[in-house]
Structure 1
């Protein structure tokens, strides 16, 4: 009887160890591709200065409303972006550079996204990058914080 109990406990132990975890993204490329991203906030200096957008604080309809911007990084190096009207969808390209410390986004037709930027933070809950952008033919240094879309 005791041997059956011991064998049962061993079998129970193996059943707990055999549970599989979901594959969480681990590389920066996998993290970028794991969700659709939306803009949480934009801090700028240059032509535009200060906090120019923050989700929940910037009134919708303002010139800097970015609440509808969405971007999805696809495995084939394409980036699918929705503009700040929520209507126009474009396909650009993306690539990680310099040991995944920078990201280059091009042809998304969104001044906030297009360009090369330093990756400041990249987790499954936050993607923050900074770099020079051109807005109305003026140079703007921007820090963009993105979060998974709701």
Structure 2
């Protein structure tokens, strides 16, 4: 077995679901040929170079990546925080899990929606923690008046 489930056929590049990534100068890129190493693109193919040239953020030795960009992937913006959405939480009795809709905020200003899935133990823990936050808020209000 090649590590791929039998029901998933081997698809060629012609069936890519994401558009190809062609980084620009200064972009961060993961290089899959270098174990996901992240580098800043410092030279593009065709601009005095036959390949992409990358350098580790900060400093370090440059390396090259194929001119077609097949080994390069974009580096997503980092998440900064998560906030609950104003939607009802749900409980899945069969899985014994709570589900809370959340919004993930990224450093570039973007957001995405996801679900926070909580086990029974986690629900009890967060129930206690949220109760503690409410208690602290009450004490702060009393002290401010």
Q: Same fold (TM over 0.5)?
A: no
Q: Name whichever structure is richer in helix by fraction.
A: 2
Higher normalized contact order (CA 8 Å, seq sep 6+, divided by chain length): 1
TM category, shorter = under 0.3
Q: TM-score, normalised by structure 1?
A: 0.22
Q: Name whichever structure is richer in strand by fraction.
A: 1
Q: TM-score, normalised by structure 2?
A: 0.22
